[in-house]
């Protein structure tokens, strides 16, 4: 099987993992990415002219010997659908459906041969038949390790008190770093030790297991998410999670102890205080075995086969 894969960010860690796993299954995956840099809404450094050029590249590429086009992220879908040569599988990641370009993503989804979303919440928002296939994670890479050794490797071993991980850079508005700062400051006022908030910027993905294992808890304050890999990675390392009620987080954390989901600042503060006061690790790893990367790719491969079979039938 040969797949022409369209993305807004070919460097996204979960995309690279998915592409490599598909190739391990014998699928040839060639990537065409939108030129320029991407923000949460897909447009920083990009203009309508950028997407017109992108469409030209997609159209030319679709003339080659591909079986289908896979549009990852809603803003790549128009180019996929406007090429007349191959069936289209469309994957929505979260902000492309829940954010400002949601109407465009919904419109494109109606024309795609098959549609994949990250969570049941997204499926409900989309309002049409689709496949719920969360991004998988590499559970061999992300597994529990010594907190003390992880902190020593990062140079955190002289830090006092609690270390709370914010798994993104502070500059991304949709992730709401100022809210994380408020929550940590309020929690610190109720605890007997300092609480330090650690954000993640420029850390190679291969080093992230060490960063996750060095933390006492992961704090997610996003306004919107599909199925956040950062939460899954923390669970795979048995690191407690405190999060806003976004995407499928509530489902992932339903049976995880200690963990907490909140909608208000007060609920997040209460959850963080309880998690840090309890101490220790969570039982999260037992809850993520079903979202292995291999499982995700097997399901996605099945979607490809379904799209091809339906095209052949027509």
Q: Looking at residue 41, what is its pLDDT?
A: 46
Determine how many CB atoms are found less than 10 A away from the CB of residue 194. 12
**Average confidence (pLDDT) per 10 residues, the chain, 314 residues:** 94 88 95 77 69 94 96 96 96 89 95 94 94 91 95 87 95 94 97 94 90 97 90 96 94 94 97 95 89 90 96 87
Q: Looking at residue 145, what is its pLDDT?
A: 97
- The token duo for 51 is 């997407």
- The token duo for 298 is 């097997």
Q: With CA atoms as reference, report the closest residue to 273 among 283, 258, 253.
A: 258
160: left (phi over 0), alpha (psi -120 to 50) or beta: beta
Return the residue matching tokens 């002289």. 158
Q: Looking at residue 236, what is its pLDDT?
A: 96
Q: Looking at residue 42, what is its pLDDT?
A: 46
Q: CA-CA distances (angstroms) from residue 278 to 99, 149, 161, 190, 270? A: 36, 21, 14, 14, 12
Cross-strand partners of 242 = 219, 260
- The token duo for 161 is 């008190």
All structural domains of the chain, each given as residue ranges with its CATH number in brackets, are 2-136+292-313 (3.40.50.2000), 147-291 (3.40.50.2000)
Q: What's the rounded Cα separation, in Å, for the pair 12 and 111?
A: 26
- The token duo for 96 is 């492309």
The helix or strand, by DSSP H or E, that contains position 230, with its residue range, turns out to be helix 229-236
Q: What's the rounded Cα separation, in Å, for the pair 163 and 279?
A: 12
Provide the b/e sequence for 15-25 (b: ≥16 CB within 10 Å).
bebbbebbeee
């Amino acid at each position: 099987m040969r797949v022409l894969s369209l993305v807004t960010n070919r460097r996204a860690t979960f995309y690279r993992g998915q592409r490599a796993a598909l190739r391990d299954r014998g699928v040839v995956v060639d990537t065409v990415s939108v030129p320029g840099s991407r923000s949460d809404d897909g447009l920083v450094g990009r203009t309508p002219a950028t997407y017109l050029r992108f469409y030209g590249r997609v159209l030319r590429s679709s003339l080659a010997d591909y079986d289908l086009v896979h549009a990852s992220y809603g803003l790549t879908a128009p180019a996929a659908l406007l090429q007349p040569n191959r069936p289209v599988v469309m994957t929505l990641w979260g902000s492309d459906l829940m954010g400002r370009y949601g109407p465009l993503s919904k419109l494109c989804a109606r024309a795609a041969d098959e549609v994949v979303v990250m969570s049941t919440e997204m499926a409900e928002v989309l309002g049409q038949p689709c496949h719920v296939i969360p991004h998988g994670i590499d559970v061999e890479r992300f597994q529990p390790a010594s907190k003390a050794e992880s902190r020593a490797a990062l140079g955190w071993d002289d830090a006092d008190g609690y270390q709370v991980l914010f798994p993104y850079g502070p500059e991304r508005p949709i992730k709401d770093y100022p809210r994380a700062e408020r929550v940590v400051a309020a929690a610190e006022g109720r605890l007997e030790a300092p609480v330090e908030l650690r954000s993640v910027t420029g850390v190679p993905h291969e080093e992230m297991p060490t960063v996750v294992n060095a933390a006492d808890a992961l704090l997610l304050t996003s306004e919107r998410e599909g199925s956040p890999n950062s939460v899954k990675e923390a669970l795979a390392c048995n690191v407690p999670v405190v999060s806003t009620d976004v995407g499928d987080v509530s489902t992932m954390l339903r049976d995880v102890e200690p963990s907490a989901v909140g909608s208000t600042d007060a609920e997040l503060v209460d959850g963080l205080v309880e998690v840090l006061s309890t101490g220790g690790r969570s039982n999260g790893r037992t809850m993520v075995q079903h979202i292995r990367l291999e499982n995700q790719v097997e399901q996605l491969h099945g979607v490809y086969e379904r799209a091809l079979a339906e095209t052949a039938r027509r």
